Structure 1
Amino acid sequence: MKKILLFLFSLIAILVLAAWLFSLYQFRDRHKGYWIDLNLQSSQNDILSGFSKVEISPEIPETWIDANGDARYNSEDGDTYSDANGNGKFDGVWLAGFHTGRAAQAVLDPLWARAMVLDAGDVQIALVVIDMIGFGNDEVIASRKLIQETNPELDYVIITSTHVHSSPDLMGMWGASQYERGVDPAYLYQVQKGIQKAVSQASENKRKAVFRFSEEQEKLKPLVGDTRDPQVLDAGLKLMQVLDAETNETLGTIMNWGNHPETLWLENIEVSSDFAHHWREIVENGIVEKDSVFVEGVGGVAIFLNGAIGGLMTTHPSMEVIDPFSKEKFQKQNPEKIIAQGRALAKVTLETLRDSSYLEVGKSNLAVRAETIELKMDNKLFHLAAYLGIFDRGFTKWKHIRSEVSAWKLGPATFVHVPGELYPEILHGGIESPAGGDFGIQPLEVPALQTQIPGQFKFFAGMSNDMVGYIIPKSQWDVEPPFTYKNKNRPYGEINSLGPETAPKIHSSVLKILKELK
């Protein structure tokens, strides 16, 4: 009996030790010692700028037939696939967003890594926007290390995502099932090499530049809806058009607006950059119909920089989109609807760019402030996903991950970058303390960030240098009943958030760097 007890005790001890060692490995810091603390200002007034775009669409190695039309691959439902490599299993490209098991059947339109480089002599930065749902900080750092090999002159590289919901999973949580990681390592590396190439090409394309800033606050509001109270939107359009100082040709255009690129919705099983594709194409190339130019584009490389989209900012299937040229109306989610939305976005963008009220800047200084921060991971499901390897995410210490906030200033404009889906009320004001909130406190994330951003033109980009999910005001945090705003169930955002301390930490960190921005 003693031998049996000793054996059982030893076995339990070994299993506990193995689990502990496994957790140490899974939670290890992928970039130990990595820390950013930048505060730079250029002494040069002539700014060089270059743009580029590199396609990062995946190949679809194996197609499949959705027998019951549920947009979810499941052999038990009669779904079948073409076993192209003969390995006896379905090698799907798993689409991020909505539900698991959403395998791509084809590529509807291309995905891109679009880059801008700014060179002020002693300060040089790059901004890259990828058509992905998100990109973790560990992957951002790995991409920066690749970029350092080809462009060591860059002081800082910002990598952000459009947050499109029809791109391959690069975060892990949208695989074949909720227990399987959805990231293809080879495709992840393809995206990282695409980012590196886009930055390198943008640097090669640098020309002496002038900058035009403009904005439109009202016309795009009908294209975005707020699905959670309080009703606060980030629907204003902010534009930076960069032109060749000698030829006056457009090098590129930054288009900043806040909305989920998910108009195709959850039944879509084709790779797509959603409305962003048609918006960018028309701004660049215009609309050509029957061999005649219907609308003229401005040329260059158009970059969609997504804004504060928590809450949840989306073009819901219940929302109607009107094509501004044909006047045709679209409500059902399909490719025609994203074409109409792209045309509506492009029309307002081109009209705003050509409005003579823009502000043009030639000589200017470039200032950058960036700082690594640590965020606490209170979400038990996220913690479990990291342990199981669904998330490939390193910890800096127990239940804490590395993330980042940054801001940069060019002439009359300031760009602020945060690592997730910020609720717009944190940016614009209007945070509430609704009855039923879990903490029963007054708003902590005050003052509104927008009031503290310097300059006339205030650009804001979420999903920057990391993707930590929703950034929810702590006073609105709602997991336990009774639920806020008389909801029957807990709100969606808390399910995909690190926890209630995320917003206060990011808000205070952004205020700090804005105060310190030279």
Structure 2
Amino acid sequence: MKNVFALFVTLLLCINCSTVTKKKQLMAGASSSNINPNVGMFIAGDKKNRKFTGVHDSIYAKAVVINNGESSLAIVTLDCIGLLYPDVQKIRKRAASLISTINLPAERIIISSNHVHTGPDVVGIWGASQIESGVDDEYMEKMIETTAQVIAKASKNLDPVSTRYSAGTFGEKWVHNISEPEIDRSLTVLQFLNDSGKNVASLTNFACHPTIYDAVHNEVSADFVGVFYNEMAKEVKGEHLFLQGAIGGWVQPDKENQSFEIGVKRGTELANAVKEQLKQMKPMESSKIQFANSVFELPVSNPGWSQLSKLGVIKREIGETTTTEVAWFSIGSAQFITHPGETPPAYSFYSKELMNSEPKFVMGLTLDAMGYILKPSYFEEGTTIPHAEYLTRMSAGAEAGPTVLEQIDKVIPK
């Protein structure tokens, strides 16, 4: 009888050991590199035919790769006005080809832009004239390769991590929607810590155009986002990624005198707010990774887009529709949804209502940058919404917004 009992205890111990062995361990790795353009290249944002005269502060490609032994994904942010879907696909394909240590499918590489207006023209519409592209092909090849290499390097830097998060609000004094009262002021932070408690990477999701320096400076800069990165690094080592939110319709900073000093002030304020939230973080226990995406045709009723495509100003096939994508993914309880352009705050609120756990991230200008994706009310005849005329001119059309909402509803699990 004693032998039977001993055997039973041994079996229980083996089962428990097996369970511990099979428990998934979340791993994370991060990397970054500057993607500075050359002096003389065209500047994206505001007026055409503006060229860089120097570098005030570097712009970056930053990546964090997450793996749990079974599934992987990468989150990438670029200091640029907005990378178009065909170039996103090039980065995904190249990065996937470089990674051999883990299984990271190309579609699980999420490329986001922060919409800075003091970076290079990566779209084409800020060249010397309306019929001349402002894109430097040599730069684009280099930027795509550099970003792919950053992702590959992050995949080789994987360390066991614990995950924690916080959610607050920010920007009441200097961030405003200058078209409508609605605005998503959420400041959401997710952090990956190694076994020593040191930061591997943090993700900060906030909605505001980085346009303090817009149209008044001809030097390369990441605007207040660059200051945010520098201020965070002073006290919290490791990588920090700024994930742009829903800034369409039209979420702007108070620009005051548009000096570099104002950019430093605002970027420092953002960093200080995040540092305060880091003191109040909640742990996330789950290491589960989930992913869903939808590649679809976005309606394009604005003839300007197709004309620019035909002229080669924008190097992308655009007719009555153009191919784009939205993706939903989760890391533990943290849920993320991507928006393929500058969406209004209402679309951020809608997306978050569909997600049933905390924290919630809405990533604007992610996987694509198809201009302003607006509510149909912006297109109504006689509308009194401020700036509607400009915003609709830079939009794919009235059907784009509802179509994106349909796809968001499709990919977020119920």
TM > 0.5 between the two?
yes
Report the equivalent of 1:128. 76
Secondary structure, counterpart of 2:149 in structure 1: helix
The residue that corresponds to 2:172 in the other structure is 221
Q: Identity over aligned residues, as a percent? A: 28
Q: Please give the secondary structure, in 2, of the residue aligned with 1:493.
A: helix
Map residues 255-270 of structure 1 onto 2, 5 A cutoff: 255-270=204-219
1:108 aligned to which of 38, 56, 66: 56
Counterpart in 1 of 2:113?
Answer: 161
Correspondence 1:365 to 2:288: yes
What are the equivalent positions in structure 2 for 1:477-516 lying under 5 Å apart? 477-478=379-380, 480=381, 482-485=382-385, 490-515=388-413
Give 1 or 2 for the bigger CA radius of gyration. 1
In structure 2, stretches of 5+ residues that fail to align are: 1-21
Q: Match for 2:314 among 370, 379, 391?
A: 391
Task: Name the amino acid aligned to 2:104.
Answer: L
Q: Deviations over 1:354-390 (max 9, x none)?
A: 12xx211244211111111111111111111111110
Which one has a larger percent helix, Structure 1 or Structure 2? 2
- Which of 417, 420, 427 aligns to 2:348? It is 427
CA distance in 2, matches of 1:232, 1:44: 43
* Count of residue pairs brought into register by the alignment: 389
Moved runs in structure 1, 4+ residues, more than 6 A? none
SS in 2 for 1:279: helix
> Which residue pairs with 2:158 in the alignment?
206
The DSSP-based 3-state class of the residue aligned with 1:492 is: helix
On the 8 A contact 2:33/2:62 being kept in 1, the answer is yes
8 Å Cα contact 1:138/1:394 also seen in 2? no
Post-superposition offset of 1:44:
5.9
Task: Determine the structure 2 residue equivalent to 1:70.
Answer: none
1:401 corresponds to 2:315? no
Deviations 1:13-34 (A, max 9, x none): xxxxxxxxxxxxxxxxxxxxxx
Any idea what the Cα deviations from partners look like across 1:390-411, whole Å, max 9, x if unmatched?
010024xx42111000011122
Q: How many Å apart are 1:106 and its aligned residue?
A: 0.6
Deviation sequence 1:291-329 (CA, Å, 0-9, x none):
xxxxxx121101000000001111143xxxxxxxxxxxx
Contact 1:209 1:362 in 2 (8 A): no
Find out whether 1:276 has 2:225 as its counterpart: yes
Q: Using the TM superposition, give the Cα deviation of residue 450 of structure 1 relative to its aligned residue in structure 2, in angstroms.
A: 1.7
Match of 1:222, SS state, is coil
Root mean square deviation of aligned Cα = 1.5
Tell me which of 248, 260, 265 is aligned to 1:340. Answer: 265
The equivalent of 2:11 in structure 1 is none
d(CA) in 2 for partners of 1:125, 1:47? 12
In the alignment, the residues of structure 1 paired with residue 200 and residue 123 of structure 2 have an alpha-carbon distance, to the nearest angstrom, of 32
TM-score by length of 1: 0.73
**Which residue pairs with 1:240 in the alignment?**
190
Residue matched to 1:188? 140
Match of 1:170 in 2: 122
Output one character per residue of 1:317-364: Cα deviation in whole Å (capped at 9) or x when no partner: 3xxxxxxxxxxxxx2101111001111111111011012xx2112442
Q: Distance in 1 between matches of 2:23 and 2:344?
A: 37
Distance 1:203 1:373, change over 3 A: same
Deviations 1:478-505 (A, max 9, x none): 4x4x2324x6x75321011111111101
Return the TM-score normalized by structure 2.
0.91
1:57 to 36, 50, 69: 36
